[in-house]
Amino acid sequence: MSSFRIGAALLLLLVLMALFAPVIAPGDPLAISGQAMLRPFESEAHLLGTDRLGRDVFAGLVHGTRTTLLVAFFSAAAALIIGSIVGTISGFLGGITDIVLMRITEAFQTVPGFLLALATISVTGPSAPTLVLAISLGNWTQAARVTRAEVLSLRERDFVAAARTLGMRPFEIAFREILPNAFGPTASLAAISVATAILIEAALSFLGFGDPNRVTWGSMIAEGRTVLRAAPYLSIVPGIALVVTVLSVHLIGRGLSRTERLQP
């Protein structure tokens, strides 16, 4: 449980940073606010220094937390919802519906999630909503397969037969009776989905496919890449933030998995 507490504390700190970003670092983080290429702690007004254009690194770091967590949480939630719906329909109806939906799932699994997200962004254009859509499109298949497996084991249980006897409709049984009981193992994938979404969003932003109107850690790392020898802090600072965020999600997921194994 200690790993869960550490991860939860780190993630809570990041969430609070994202929520209070306008208070912690007021103003536009993309605006030029001082002399260019100031090193960390060289100026009281710019604790973490400035980039090549004179933009405050600390402001970018704080506001970038908003973008990262927003895209990660919403894309992970969308992936779990899509996967749960597809898996429930596939497992409950079976037959030709199951075959078709599983073949579609396998088709999505053959394409790496990052490449699918990159192709989607290239077509739709970079923005926060399209980032959520692009990442969730490559991240829902595992949830679908886990949900289907659980539904297959639950659909012949006594409570399902009782629901049929009471005259409940098939989809009502599937989504009101079976899915809530099958969602536990699927929800355990949330940590993996969030961590994957964080890394994909950072990679897309690093390549210039992030939302141009928002500060992202990936774009900050890419900005620092051009002056890596002269100012390595420009890439190191957002890189550390990215590592801490993924680590916190990983610790939460590991703590939850241990708790599930200890339950009788």
Read off the tokens for 149: 């497996």
Of how many residues is the chain composed?
A: 264
What is the pLDDT at residue 257? 67
pLDDT digits (tens, 9 = 90+) for 39-49: 888 888 888 88
Read off the tokens for 200: 């994909």
What is the pLDDT at residue 259? 57
Dihedral (CA of 61, 66, 67, 69) sign: positive
Q: Which among 217, 200, 181 is positioned nearest to 130, based on CA atoms?
A: 200
User: What is the phi/psi pair of residue 227, to 5°?
Assistant: -125, 40
pLDDT digits (tens, 9 = 90+) for 49-89: 888 888 899 999 999 998 888 888 999 899 999 999 999 99
What is the pLDDT at residue 45? 81
Residue-range domain boundaries for the chain: 2-34+42-262
Q: Which among 214, 194, 178, 182 is positioned nearest to 78, based on CA atoms?
A: 194
CB 257 within 8 A of CB 1: no
CB 109 within 8 A of CB 172: no
Q: How far apart are CA 138 and CA 175, in angstroms?
A: 24
CA geometry: angle 20, 75, 5, nearest 5 deg: 55
Dihedral (CA of 159, 161, 167, 172) sign: positive
Q: How far apart are CA 143 and CA 186, in angstroms?
A: 6
CB 223 within 8 A of CB 234: yes
The answer to whether domain 2-34+42-262 has CATH 1.10.3720.10 is yes
What is the pLDDT at residue 264? 45
- Collect the ranges in the chain with pLDDT lower than 70: 1, 256-264
Q: How far apart are CA 251 and CA 71, in angstroms?
A: 20
